[in-house]
Amino acid sequence: MIKRKHKVAILNYPLMDPRIPTEDMENYLGLYYHNADPWEVPVYIHIPFCSSICKFCIYNRQIIDECDDIAQRYTNALVKEIMLYSKTPYIGSLKIGAIFFGGGTPTCLSSKQIEMVMNACKDYLPVSKDVEITVESNPINANEEKVGFLSELGISRLSAGIQTFNPAHRKILSLKGTQEDVIEWIKMVKKYSFKVFAIDLMYGLPTQTTENWIADLKTALALSIDHFSLYELYVMAGSKLNDDIKSGIVMPGGSNEILYEMYKTGDKLLTDTGYHHHIVPEYNKPGRTARFWELTYDGYGDNLSFGTSSYGYLNGVTYQNIEDVSAYINAIAENRIPIQMVSSRANYQQILERTMVLALRRRHIEKKIFCDQYGKEIKDVFGAILHKHIEEGLITENEHEYKLTLKGEYLQGDVSVDYMQTTFRNSSTLRRQLAIGKHVIPDVL
């Protein structure tokens, strides 16, 4: 019997406390100090716009088209937010190795608007000369003209949320475009000189069988995709799909055993085909890794983010930007850093916990790097938990590292939560789930 309690990736630790005032964030975040860490930093930029809404989605997004004035006003605000941060010594002393435009759907913006934000990053932030830049896209708003423009602009990676090729499942999820449309779009993208073309695929869809899942993967493999993100569908309260399932319009996905079987099947098919499983749930051809995901989950450095509702981590503090687009734009117009909620500054133990929580998303944690950074052996800090996970067949140990087993990879969220000791000591499973879902400490629930 296998069951995941925590399906959502845990990006934000320490968890936030909405009771903390959010005035004078420059001082609270310590942005007037210089950063002395050697780690490269990822930048996430949230674009909260879509051409249509998928039924499973609960993220912060709204439907627009390129003619909407809100898109240009939002673009202007993003540029100004980047400038506001760039004026501080802390941000100026970072080493930025990857930039990721996510959403929503970034290609809802015009080519010129994407260029504006990208140029702002290069002009005002300390990006490396070989910075990796990823843009998430969608076949319905990334036509060949826009794809060609992004290629000429120097975008390193183009990523697309395909989710499934199956016509019946695309209909259930309200995905626009036929299977043939999507395949032709991918063939068009492959003509351009992106270093990596990546797609998302989902398993555990309503009525989806393991055979359907294998067919989706084989369709993608035949198109020579560079990088896969394989996600289990998580039907959350508030989504249209959840309403359809509750009302009986759509049948729910498979049992826990079927979902785990799909995970193992996908992992075996891709690794047998030569793909490297470098991060849960990322698979890539040799040399086609995603630097952004590696930096996001290295567990040691900062994570910088811009845009409405985005989450980041600076100088020991987790933060979330204002969720409402208009309120975000207004805050920027008033020259305020647009933060809605923050954590307390991480204490020493929480910094160690954060490293474990995030690094296990990379499937392993190196003993020497941890010891060099903190002057402590992992086993001396987390020995009891590691022993428990080894006994449960979730982690293995060798001379150099602790590594997740295949079962541990599937249950990675559950494994990581066990290392959040100072936050969840004596908390129930339900309380943990609610806290993680809301990104807040259990004390405020």
Would you list the DSSP string of 354-405? HHHHHHGGGTEEEHHHHHHHHSS-HHHHHHHHHHHHHHTTSEEE-SSEEEE-
Give the count of beta carbons closer than 10 Å to the beta carbon of residue 174. 15
The H or E element containing residue 159 is: strand 157-163
386-404 pLDDT, tens digit per residue, is 999 999 999 999 999 999 9
The CA distance from 118 to 111, in Å, is: 11
268-285 pLDDT, tens digit per residue, is 999 999 999 999 999 999
Q: Which residues contact 393 (CB under 8 A, 6 or more apart)?
A: 405, 407, 408
| pLDDT score recorded for residue 67 | 52
| pLDDT score recorded for residue 56 | 58
Q: What is the CATH number of domain 25-296?
A: 3.20.20.70
Q: What is the CATH number of domain 1-15+348-445?
A: 1.10.10.920
| pLDDT score recorded for residue 313 | 98
| pLDDT score recorded for residue 189 | 98
Q: Which residue has the tokens 């969840």?
A: 424
Domain boundaries defined on the chain: 1-15+348-445, 25-296
Mean pLDDT by 10 residues, the chain (445 residues): 81 95 96 94 95 61 67 97 97 98 94 97 97 96 96 97 96 91 98 97 94 98 98 76 72 86 97 97 96 96 97 97 97 97 98 97 97 97 98 98 97 95 91 91 93
Angle between helices 367-374 and 348-359 (to 10 degrees): 160
DSSP three-state, residue 66: coil
| DSSP assigned state of 35 | P
The CA distance from 409 to 412, in Å, is: 5
| pLDDT score recorded for residue 66 | 52
| pLDDT score recorded for residue 7 | 77
Q: Which residue has the tokens 């559950």?
A: 414
| pLDDT score recorded for residue 254 | 81
| pLDDT score recorded for residue 312 | 97
